[in-house]
Structures are given as structure tokens and as C-alpha cells.
Structure 1
Amino acid sequence: MARDFEILREERLHGGFFTLLRMHLRHTLHGGGWSEVLTRELYHRSRCVAVVPYDPMADRVVLIEQFRVGPLKSGENPWLLEIVAGAVEPGEHPDEVAHRETMEEAGSRIRELIPVSEFFTTPGGCSESIALYCGIVDSAGLGGIHGLAEEHEDILVSVVDFAEAMVLLGEGRIRSAIPIIGLQWLALNRERIRTRYGAA
């Protein structure tokens, strides 16, 4: 089956923390032919990176907590438990961003970077994609408040046992999709990682 699309017109509605576009497009249909002209708004942002910082020797996970505007309109708590994440700037490789953001947000160096997956977060209306990694770290001494003042970051770092991270996940206290995906991956691969580092 031939799959194709046409962008007929694109308007820039806003440029700020995100770029908001209005797109007029059409695409081929599964049953043949073309769709009607569709109008869709799209939040556009650069590719991003997320890291699950994990210490296999201590069997601990590094979590961060920060204010997020997204939950406000739903009346939810805007301080979310998350993992390290950041945007890929022009000319950067995602691996570089993983190392940079882990230092900036958690105060930790990555000893080894394990690629996990790359996925779209909200493809129905946002272009954001995430390159997800597991970062092997030494969790000793980590904690406190981190982040860049020029980016108005106020990030609380906590080191928790893997079992506690799973309790937080199971109780629904981690509400953001990216750390949920990252921690579920870790749950599936933890024993392999610990065996590799001689911790199991």
C-alpha cells in the first residue's frame, strides 16, 4: 500500500518555550485514495534525551523532583517525580546531552551510557521525541538541590532503593510517562545489569 502525505500550508502561531504551528495537510487512506484536507495544531520542539541514573552496586535509582506547568490545568500536583531529561541543542549528539544533563540536574557523572529506546511522547499533537538511556552512576553522596539558575531550574535530587522506586511506580506517585517507561525498562533489565557489574 502506498503511503504519502502533503503539507499544503503551514502557519507559525507562536514562538516561545514551544513553537506552535498550524498545519493544513492531507494523507493517503488505508482503503485507498486521499483524506480530506485536515487542519492540525502542532507543538514543535527539538529532540530530547532522558536518563535513568542507576547504581547497580548499591541497587539505587536517582530521581528528581521539579515544578511542571502541565498538571496545573487538571488541578494536579505540579511537583513531579521524574528522571533526568533535557533538549538536544543544535550540533549536539544525544549521548553528549545525557552526560551534560545528568551532571546539571543530578550532580552525577555517568560511568556508562546504555541506550534504551527512542520514541515520540505525544505524537497526536507534539513533535517531541525522546532518546532514552540508562546511565550507570555511583550514587554515593548524591542528593540536594540542582539545576541551572539561568534556566530557572529548581531540582530536588533523591537517591532511592530500586524497591522503593518500584513502590512509587506501583502506587501511582510517578505521574510522568518518561520516568514510567524508564523505570519499567530498568525493572526488566536490572538483573542483567547487576550481573554485568558483579553486583548480583
Structure 2
Amino acid sequence: MKLFATSAAALALVAAPMAASAVELSYGYQANAMFPEDGDTYYSGEGYIEGTASGVTLGLWAGTTDIDESVDFEISLGYGWEFATGVTLDATATGYTNSEDGYDDTDVNLELGFPVSDPFAIYAGATYLIDAEDWDVYAGAVYSFGDFAVTGEVGDDGTTYWSLEGAYAFTDNVWASAEYADADGSDYEVTVSVGYDF
């Protein structure tokens, strides 16, 4: 859900907050069906609420799956800038916890987005998991036409992974997507999702 071609000199420009001072609230829910290579099928649901003001974003997220019936929770705090050329920079800190096994961690993420053309954008980012002391670096591209968007991403979190996703917006609120994801040494997985955003 992110996203833009200019020289590296653009990054030296003074950045400005991406949002106006008024608080903007958004929330939504999505249902997922996961089809891993082993032939099993899993279902999950997740919901979020997010508030943004003056470039600062605070978000709460919760999700559950029938794999182990546990609930995952996240809270995130981020800040976004947009440079004069349209290049974007987002910095986010996120805390995670799981209701079943007590697993928790915190990560920090930086992501740059570059507008190549009106329908095409590229992005790259890095995430550091503080407790696990692990890195995840990734890059991707998004191409949009009409209400349809295709996203491809490749990354490395100790294992090289990649994904390809197509998403379609039926209305301003209702959308659906299908994603193929794979990683070295792992089975592939196809995930179909439908969501409603308020």
C-alpha cells in the first residue's frame, strides 16, 4: 500500500510533512483465504484503525487465523515526508505481540518511494527487528491502470523472497486482491483477500 524518477539530489531537498493539520481517521476490515503449496487452506481476518495529522500516523491493527486461533496485535507510529519532486520518505516504528505464545518484537522501518510516471512507481525500504536483531531489506514496483494495480516485490530477511499481487477497487471502499508469494527453501502460497475501508 505504498509508492515514485529523479536524481539522488532530490533527496537533499528540505522535506515537508505529507498531511494537513486536520486529523484524518480511517478504518477497515479484510478477510483472507490462504492456499499454500501443501494443499491446505487457511482463513484469517484482520482489522485496523488509523489516524493521521500533520504527517504523523498512529495505527492499531489486530488479526487472527484458524491455523492456531491466536490473535496478533500491532501498534505503529510513523511520520511521512514528500519532497518537491514527489519522492516520499516514511519512517515507522511498530510493536507486535501474539496472544497465544507471547511472542513480541518491535521494528523500525524506512521506506523511499519514487514516481517514475503517472501510473508507475518504485519503492525500496529496510526494516530492523530490534529484539530479533534481524534485517529485512526489500524493493518493489507498482503499476496502476484504472481501478487495477499490480505490485511486484523482492526482499531478503535472511531468506530471499518475492511476491506478485494484483488488486482491484470495485468502489472507493470495496476491494479485492490475489497474491503469489514464494521464498527460497519454502513452499509458495497464494492469498486471496477482500476488504472494506471506511
TM-score by length of 1: 0.22
Q: Highest Rg: 1 or 2?
A: 1
TM-score (norm 2): 0.22
- Higher strand proportion (structure 1 or 2): 2
Relative contact order (alpha carbons < 8 A, sep ≥ 6): 1 or 2 greater? 1
